[in-house]
Amino acid sequence: MLYKQYWIGVDLGGTNIRTGLMNDAGVILREQKEPTEAYKGSDYVIEKLKNMIENTGMGYEIQAIGIGMPGPLNPYKGIIMNPINLPGWNNIFLGDILKEHFNVPCYIDNDCNVAALAEASEGAGKDYPIVFYITVSTGIGGGLCINKRIISGATGNAGEIANIVVSRDSIKHSFLNPGSLEGMASGISILRMASEHGLKVDKAHEVFFLAEAGNATAIKIVDIVVDSLARGMATISHVVDPHIFVLGGGVSLAVPGFAEMIKARFEQYIYEVMRSQIAVKPAQLSDPGIVGAVYMAKMRIEREAYE
């Protein structure tokens, strides 16, 4: 069977840009990775992105470009609205810029949303109707997919769970609410707590290893993190009632048994009739950004065809 349609998926982050050429069979045929160099500004990064897309898709007729990147952004209009890790990206009409340059449709969504779509379509959530993806990394992010479609909400912020209040602690993280999920359970927050209590670690997941070895301070920090995530997931469950939570991100995937640990505490905070009914599993895909961006673009084209 020949796969005659080809798509470009982009994972655009504050540190790296990754582009991939995918066929209709879901096979990534070509990939490219370059440092973002975000400090050089939006014009520089956009020119680099154009060159990467051209090189990745060279020799192929591309149907569309899909991009997953940090928010805040407007997924309906392809407008980037000043992400923290992309300084100077204030109301950048990236979708229109790339559509005009390449003369193909370009669709943009939050990086967690496209990762959620990838896991819902090809990863740990592929056998479940309602999938909620959570990334536990430098920050905390989330994405909701129902029947393998991203749910973005009225403003494009559905699934943005970082600001959910999970603790009475008055800790203020970034612009978020005191006691927010990101403020209590993200990689940055874990390192902050470790530093405040005299633990010498370079990576957030190392605190979990110290706890496993019996370090009393690390055990307390891990308990805060696990409890905060469990409370956040319970809040989500009582609104969305997903069939599965998929846990991704650098911190969660670096800790063996992380999903099981969170699930055990999560079960304590939900209705009894819900217990043992909601799966909690680690993410499976190594390229969720590129894969999810392509799936997102294909679905947006399909949706527009019926509008």
- Alpha helices for the chain (secondary structure H): 42-57, 94-102, 111-122, 181-185, 187-196, 205-212, 216-240, 250-254, 258-266, 288-305
Q: Could you name the CATH architecture of 6-111?
A: 2-Layer Sandwich (3.30)
* Side chain identity, residue 278: I
Mean pLDDT for the chain? 93
Mention every residue, 6+ apart, whose C-beta is less than 8 A from residue 223: none
Q: 219 falls in which pLDDT band (50, 70, 90)?
A: very high
Look at 32-36, 168-172, 251-255, 294-298 and tell me which has the smallest mean pLDDT: 168-172
- Looking at residue 173, its pLDDT comes to 72
Place 3 in a pLDDT band, splitting at 50, 70 and 90.
low
Residue 304 confidence (pLDDT): 74
Cβ atoms of residues 14 and 36 within 8 Å: yes
Q: What percent of the chain is predicted at pLDDT more than 70?
A: 98
For residue 1, what pLDDT is reported?
42
pLDDT of residue 14: 86
Hey, what are 170's tokens? 């008055």
Q: Is the pLDDT of residue 251 over 90?
A: yes
How far apart are the C-alpha atoms of 66 and 29, rounded to whole Å?
16
Q: Indicate the domain borders of the chain.
A: 6-111, 124-282
Q: How confident is the model at residue 176 (pLDDT cuts 50, 70, 90)?
A: confident
The CATH architecture to which 124-282 belongs is 2-Layer Sandwich (3.30)
Give pLDDT tens digits for 38-79: 999 999 999 999 999 999 999 999 999 999 998 889 999 999
Q: What would the pLDDT profile of 136-149 be if each residue is shown by its tens digit?
A: 998 899 999 999 99
pTM of the full predicted structure?
0.91
pLDDT tens per residue across span 150-172: 998 888 888 889 999 998 877 77
Distance CA 219, CA 270 (A): 24
* CB environment 138-151: b (16+ within 10 A), e (fewer): bbbbbbbbeebbbb
The pair of three-digit structure tokens given for residue 81, joined into one six-digit string: 């609205």
pLDDT digits (tens, 9 = 90+) for 259-287: 999 999 999 999 999 999 999 999 999 88
